[in-house]
Amino acid sequence: MADLDRLDPLALVALGGFAGAITRYGVTVALPTGFPWGTLAVNVAGSFALGVLLFEERLVGRLGERARLVAATGFLSSFTTYSTFATETAALAPTLAVANVGANYVLGFAAVLAGRAAVRSLAASEVRA
């Protein structure tokens, strides 16, 4: 892979976005249909990952700006999806739609908090070492 320091930021975002979109598609087709399990899975996993990245920046700060462009702005922005979530929710029966909205928001926020806890735990162990 090319040296990340020499790639243009736009190319970094594009590279991450391509990988995120392909990965989201793969997760979506791998999970059962009938309920938007794939979208729920990528939104929760992406929320966890973004929580890790955001709190890593605050507490540890080892990742550089270019790595964040690839991972957060590129990959996670394409991996997670609000528009698909909204479209799939609108197509569900009312009870399932409410369940989908609740699951995406509750699990998404919980995943961000879990990401924060993971980084805090790792940051604390680095301070002790």
Render pLDDT for 49-103 as a digit per residue (tens, 0 to 9): 999 999 999 888 889 999 999 999 999 999 999 999 999 999 999 999 999 999 9
Q: So what's the pLDDT on residue 125?
A: 74
More confident residue, 45 or 65: 45
pLDDT band at 129 (very low <50, low <70, confident <90, very high): very low
Please report, for residues 55, 57, 124, the alpha-carbon distance to residue 127 in angstroms, rounded to integers and kept in the order given.
Answer: 16, 16, 5
